[in-house]
Amino acid sequence: MRVKTTLILLCICFSGLAGSAQRKLSDQSSHISPMTREYVYPTRIVWHRGQIDGLNNLLVEGDGQANLTNDNITILKNAGRDSSSILLDFGKEINASLEVITGMWGGGNVPRNVRIRFGESVSEAMSEIGQKGATNDHAMRDMHLQLPWLGKNQTGESGFRFARIDFLDAEAELHLREVRAIFTYRDVPYLGSFHSSDERLNKIWEVGAYTVHLNMQDYLWDAIKRDRLVWVGDLHPEVATVNTVFGYNEVVPNSLDLARESTPLPGWMCGISTYSMWWIVLHHDWYMAHGDLAYLEQQKPYLQGLVKQILSKVVDGKEHMDGTRFLDWPSSEDSLAVHAGLQSMTILALENAAKISTYLKDEPTKALCEQALVKMRKVVPDHNSSKQAAALMSLTGLMDSQRAYDDVLKVGGAERFSTFYGYYMLEAMAKAGKYSQAMDIIDTYWGAMLDLGATTFWEDFNMEWIDNASRIDELVPSGKVDIHGDFGAYCYVGHRHSFAHGWASGPTAWLSEHVLGIKVAEPGGKAYTVRPNLGELSFAEGTFPTPYGLIKVKHTRGADGKVVSQIDAPEQVRIIR
């Protein structure tokens, strides 16, 4: 009887312990990472020096495990003043750490010391801290690491494609069994797609999608090397790409909520008035795409306060925003353009706030917005020939779209485009019906980055930089310009320049919306317009994610020049032609 009772008590005890452990695991569920880790091996030895045996073994995919056979080893030998180094290419930009698996060197089980440098370009990976802007800001990309005998160690994460390893110990050997990157990303399917008769446009669509995918980390960052932060204005083109390629993903509302919670009023998000305005626009766009009214309701108190704060900076219809007055970096020193852009952005924010207030049945806030808009539309600032300002003025009706194109946007073609506001310049060109011309700009401007070896799109780019420029995937030849180290401005001088910046993904969303012609027309993705604009293309086809499944389209130009469309949509979705 005692034995039976003891067993029962033990069962109850273990059951309670198991239940307690289960509860603890459940309590920790919010701390489980949504990220996937994948091993990526180098595809190429870009450069090496010193005495190295078995160098190409580093290109062989392994099992990540040190072993006693010491096979397939790469041996770096330092003797006298000679030291050994290698520069590895992982084939494309990734957000990753570097893992080094070692073998058995002689002379005792003494750890070896290496220096590791990451680079988004070969030039950056070969640079010293402070050289042409090279930095460890936000993510360590230049560090020393100890490696164990017959074991492995790994670095922290950064955004890079290239990794240089310098063996530092004098009169010693380093045995490397493997060097691999641990790639961290969200394992989410690419639901949206784009394919056309122009392979260059197809590639640009894919690179824009991949650039944003890399930045879908714990939050939606602007970049994976620098800054690795949630910049709310940067989010707007990124979220357009998320909606186009991935559909719903929690990284977006999590990032919008982070921005709200970390910016109590009367603060401006990121210290920038337009970024708080983009937060309003983003919530409108997100609701249109996904229709979560309960989530939109959660924003109501903050939105009401933010609208009143914006209106307090408007006098007689003219904006007088404080905080940092900013559109994008290339326009930042043009005070006339910034004012014109801020006037337009205030209108855009209030228009979207009025629509949101309609969905929330908040008539007082809606009325405040509409009353202010009447006065603001009567104030037409000078765009000062700024493509940023003219684009926003066109999109908000402060400037005739055809005039904006003729007088400003088409002047110089891709000259004075920018990676962030280039999206709105393309949108303004579409509003003027200039689809072929916009595709030419995409081909010229974003395509030029691909021509220079880019696998992701950059924080900034200027067409003037390409003259005599070297590719980013090669050592800079004598007499050539270093496209990464020799250019940049403001906060992105030289190698500090981010080469995987999500705000540069605008062409991905633009091509799906304007060439495939798919655009959400009712909240929650219940209706979409499908109005293709092929320009000079002979065909374009693709998919677009909705809350109910994929819209699939194929548009083909016939011999008579007319475009014939095949459209397949979920039965819950109404298609408007």
Closest by Cα among 112, 215, 253 to 500: 215
CA 471 to each of CA 93, 105, 127: distance values in angstroms, whole numbers, following the listed order? 14, 38, 16
CB 161 within 8 A of CB 93: yes
Q: What is the mean pLDDT of the chain?
A: 94
CA distance 117 to 101: 17
219 and 89, same structural domain? Answer: no
CATH of the domain at 213: 1.50.10.10
Residue 118 within a domain: yes
Domain extent for 138: 36-185
In terms of Cβ atoms closer than 10 Å to its own Cβ (0-12, 13-18, 19+), residue 80 is exposed
The 10 Å Cβ neighbour count of residue 351 is: 20
**What is the mean pLDDT of the segment spanning 318-344?**
98
The predicted-structure confidence for 334-393, as pLDDT tens digits, reads as follows: 999 999 999 999 999 999 999 999 999 999 999 999 999 999 999 999 999 999 999 999
Predicted pLDDT at 70: 87
CA distance 418 to 391: 12
CA distance 543 to 128: 45
359 and 271, same structural domain? Answer: yes
422 and 282, same structural domain? Answer: yes
Predicted pLDDT at 21: 42
**What is the mean pLDDT of the segment spanning 221-249?**
98
| Domains in the chain, number | 2
339 and 282, same structural domain? Answer: yes
Which is more confidently placed, 11 or 231? 231
Residue 513 within a domain: yes
The model's confidence at residue 9, banded by pLDDT at 50, 70 and 90, is very low
**C-alpha dihedral over 524, 526, 531, 532, to 10 degrees?**
70
Cβ-proximal residues to 387 (8 Å cutoff; 6+ apart), any chain: 408, 409, 416, 417, 418, 421, 425
450 and 354, same structural domain? Answer: yes
Residue 543 within a domain: no
Predicted pLDDT at 495: 98
Residue 77 within a domain: yes
Whether the per-residue pLDDT at 8 is higher than 70: the answer is no
Predicted pLDDT at 228: 97
131 and 59, same structural domain? Answer: yes
The predicted-structure confidence for 512-549, as pLDDT tens digits, reads as follows: 999 999 999 999 999 999 999 999 999 999 999 999 99
Give the DSSP letter of residue 267: P
Predicted pLDDT at 29: 55
274 and 420, same structural domain? Answer: yes
506 and 431, same structural domain? Answer: yes
Predicted pLDDT at 53: 97
Whether the per-residue pLDDT at 18 is higher than 50: the answer is no
Residue 28 within a domain: no
Which long-range contacts link 487-490 to residues 24+ away (Cβ below 8 Å)? 487/462, 488/133, 488/460, 489/329, 489/460, 490/329, 490/332
Closest by Cα among 225, 237, 152 to 500: 225
CA 212 to each of CA 61, 232, 238, 340, 439: distance values in angstroms, whole numbers, following the listed order? 28, 14, 6, 29, 20
Structure tokens at 486: 């020799």
Residue the block writes with tokens 């394992």: 187
Predicted pLDDT at 17: 37
Residue 413 within a domain: yes
215 and 181, same structural domain? Answer: no
Task: Characterize the bridge pairing of strands 574-576 and 518-520.
Answer: unpaired
CA distance 154 to 116: 10
333 and 377, same structural domain? Answer: yes
Residue after which a domain boundary falls, among 169, 185, 201 = 185
Residue the block writes with tokens 């401005």: 489
Residue 560 within a domain: no
Whether the per-residue pLDDT at 16 is higher than 60: the answer is no
Percent of the chain with pLDDT over 90: 94
Residue 482 within a domain: no
Predicted pLDDT at 4: 39
Q: Facing residues of 320 across strands?
A: none
Helix (H, G, I), strand (E, B) or coil at 343: helix
Beta strands in 427-548 (DSSP E): 518-520, 527-530, 539-546
197 and 181, same structural domain? Answer: no
Residue the block writes with tokens 């083909």: 556
Give the DSSP letter of residue 408: I
**What is the mean pLDDT of the segment spanning 498-511?**
98
**What is the mean pLDDT of the segment spanning 124-129?**
98
CATH of the domain at 142: 2.60.120.260
Residue after which a domain boundary falls, among 137, 159, 185 = 185
Whether the per-residue pLDDT at 3 is higher than 60: the answer is no
CB 52 within 8 A of CB 74: yes
Predicted pLDDT at 158: 98
Cβ-proximal residues to 412 (8 Å cutoff; 6+ apart), any chain: none
Q: Roughly how many angstroms between the first and final C-alpha of the chain, as a whole number? A: 80
CA distance 512 to 531: 11
263 and 209, same structural domain? Answer: yes
Whether the per-residue pLDDT at 235 is higher than 90: the answer is yes
The model's confidence at residue 12, banded by pLDDT at 50, 70 and 90, is very low
Cβ-proximal residues to 221 (8 Å cutoff; 6+ apart), any chain: 215, 227, 228, 229, 230, 502
Q: For the whole model, what pTM was predicted?
A: 0.94
Whether the per-residue pLDDT at 295 is higher than 70: the answer is yes
Residue the block writes with tokens 């937060």: 279
Closest by Cα among 158, 123, 116 to 137: 158
The predicted-structure confidence for 75-109, as pLDDT tens digits, reads as follows: 999 999 899 999 999 999 999 999 999 999 998 89
The model's confidence at residue 30, banded by pLDDT at 50, 70 and 90, is low
CB 364 within 8 A of CB 354: no
CA distance 432 to 428: 6
CA distance 166 to 198: 43
The predicted-structure confidence for 400-429, as pLDDT tens digits, reads as follows: 999 999 999 999 999 999 999 999 999 999
Residue after which a domain boundary falls, among 138, 161, 185 = 185
Structure tokens at 388: 């940023």
